[in-house]
């Protein structure tokens, strides 16, 4: 793809996300956070209790006497940079961006700014894990955690990868130890999520409504199921994919178990950090059929595009909080 067009598209994304005006369910809450940060120390109880990375961006904005647009632009640059880097690893980067647009970009990046920053850095952590760059993956994981505490769920990915290795060796002691570690990590993540929710004042930002948890989980279930079927029975590139995406796919299955136990909020949080499986699988899906015929390939391409459009349309029409995104307005055209 032409480099100039990629830069142009990057700029459009940053402006679209970062310069939004009164768009997103927590718009007023984030303005309150910015105003409160003006009177808070750079390092202190407020920063540790909240989300330090986001707190520091707000402190910079306050020190420069900037408005919420500065904060949103900073996070938009982080989000867009990470998303574009992730999509460039796909067979078709534009298809990956299209899959990400309806929910991850529109709803999360323009509504839940802290989670958007955490998920963006998760994408880099997953890429580092995929390349076996362990130090980099740990660094990006810590940065994601600094943006939002619920990113603690990401620790389940490498632990599950260790479990796959233990199952391959067949050593019972290794399997039991890693399984116990997985359960401890999951319990800890649920506990941290539960505790952090008590300090959130916005209903939309705190719960994103448990009523929509099943829908968000189902959006992950479709690509996860496709990946698992192809991984275990197929002969295409999903079968040779990194164990990172195998772990994400199984975590999607586990997330439904959380929902069944009554932990709908925890399941909803986990679902957010499993969104990358949508981008990876659906962004690559049509290329599974490229060797068969061009006609089948284009049919699947249109199917993925149609599905993405349908997700956006359904959300805008029927989501409980879609009104907070409509109409879209951008600074300075307000």
Do the beta carbons of residue 125 and residue 140 sit within 8 Å?
A: yes
What is the pLDDT at residue 79? 98
CA distance linking residue 174 with residue 177, whole number of Å: 5
Tell me, yes or no, whether 123 lies in a domain.
Answer: yes
Tell me, yes or no, whether 326 lies in a domain.
Answer: no
Boundaries of domain holding 54: 13-203+211-320
Do the beta carbons of residue 95 and residue 286 sit within 8 Å?
A: yes
* Closest of 99, 127, 6 to residue 285, by C-alpha: 99
- Count CB neighbours of 81 within 10 A: 16
Residue 143 Cα distances to 70, 126, 152, 275, angstroms: 20, 13, 11, 18
Instruction: Work out the burial of residue 5: count CB atoms within 10 Å of its CB; fewer than 13 is exposed, 13-18 middle, 19 or more buried.
Output: exposed
- Band of residue 177 on the pLDDT scale cut at 50, 70, 90: low
Tell me, yes or no, whether 310 lies in a domain.
Answer: yes
- Count CB neighbours of 309 within 10 A: 13
- Which residue did the predictor score with more confidence, 246 or 334? 246
Do the beta carbons of residue 178 and residue 162 sit within 8 Å?
A: yes
Tell me, yes or no, whether 54 lies in a domain.
Answer: yes
What is the pLDDT at residue 191? 60
| CB within 8 Å of 263: residues ≥ 6 apart | 190
Tell me, yes or no, whether 2 lies in a domain.
Answer: no
CA distance linking residue 127 with residue 120, whole number of Å: 11
Give me the residue label for tokens 């952590």: 125
Number of domains in the chain: 1
Q: Which two tokens stand for residue 272?
A: 């957010």
What is the pTM assigned to this prediction? 0.90
Do the beta carbons of residue 287 and residue 273 sit within 8 Å?
A: no
Do the beta carbons of residue 189 and residue 152 sit within 8 Å?
A: yes
* Percent of the chain residues past pLDDT 90, beyond the cut: 52
Residue 313 Cα distances to 222, 228, 240, angstroms: 18, 28, 34
* Closest of 100, 105, 167, 130 to residue 245, by C-alpha: 130
Do the beta carbons of residue 113 and residue 105 sit within 8 Å?
A: no
What are the backbone dihedrals phi and psi of residue 20, each rounded to the nearest 5 degrees, phi first? Answer: -60, 150
* Closest of 265, 245, 240 to residue 255, by C-alpha: 265
The rounded mean pLDDT for the chain is 85
Residue 206 has pLDDT above 50, yes or no: no
Residue 129 has pLDDT above 90, yes or no: yes
Of the ranges 95-104, 214-223, 303-312, which one carries the lowest mean pLDDT score? 214-223
39-66 confidence digits (pLDDT tens): 888 787 666 667 899 999 999 999 999 9
Q: Which two tokens stand for residue 206?
A: 């705190």
Number of residues that this document lists for the chain: 334
Name the H helices within 198-263.
203-207, 213-233, 243-260
Name residue 330's beta-bridge partners.
20, 333
């Amino acid at each position: 793809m032409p480099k100039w067009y990629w830069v142009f598209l990057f700029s459009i994304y940053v402006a679209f996300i970062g310069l939004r005006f009164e768009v997103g369910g927590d718009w007023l809450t984030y303005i309150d956070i910015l105003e409160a940060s003006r009177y808070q120390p750079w390092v202190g109880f407020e920063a540790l209790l909240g989300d330090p990375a986001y707190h520091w961006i707000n402190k910079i904005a306050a020190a420069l006497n900037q408005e919420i647009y500065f904060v949103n632009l900073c996070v938009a640059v982080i989000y867009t940079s990470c998303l574009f880097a992730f999509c460039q690893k796909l067979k078709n980067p534009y298809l990956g961006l299209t899959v990400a647009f309806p929910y991850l970009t529109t709803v999360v990046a323009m509504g839940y700014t802290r989670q958007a920053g955490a998920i963006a850095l998760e994408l880099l952590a997953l890429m580092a894990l995929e390349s076996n760059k362990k130090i980099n993956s740990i660094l990006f994981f810590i940065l994601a955690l600094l943006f939002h505490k619920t990113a603690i769920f990401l620790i389940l990915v490498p632990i599950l990868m260790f479990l796959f290795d233990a199952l391959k060796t067949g050593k019972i002691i290794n399997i039991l130890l890693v399984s116990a570690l997985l359960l401890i990590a999951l319990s800890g993540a649920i506990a941290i999520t539960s505790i952090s929710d008590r300090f959130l004042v916005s209903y939309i930002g705190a719960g994103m409504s448990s009523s929509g948890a099943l829908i968000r989980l189902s959006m992950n279930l479709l690509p996860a199921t496709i990946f698992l079927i192809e991984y275990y029975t197929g002969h295409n590139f999903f079968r040779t994919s990194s164990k990172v995406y195998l772990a994400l796919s199984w975590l999607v299955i586990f997330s439904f178990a959380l929902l069944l136990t009554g932990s709908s909020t925890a399941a909803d949080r986990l679902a957010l950090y499993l969104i990358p499986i949508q981008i990876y699988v659906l962004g690559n899906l049509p290329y599974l059929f490229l060797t068969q015929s061009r006609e089948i390939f284009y049919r699947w391409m249109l199917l993925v595009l149609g599905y993405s459009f349908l997700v956006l349309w359904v959300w805008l029409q029927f989501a409980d909080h879609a009104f907070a995104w409509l109409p879209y307005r951008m600074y300075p055209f307000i």
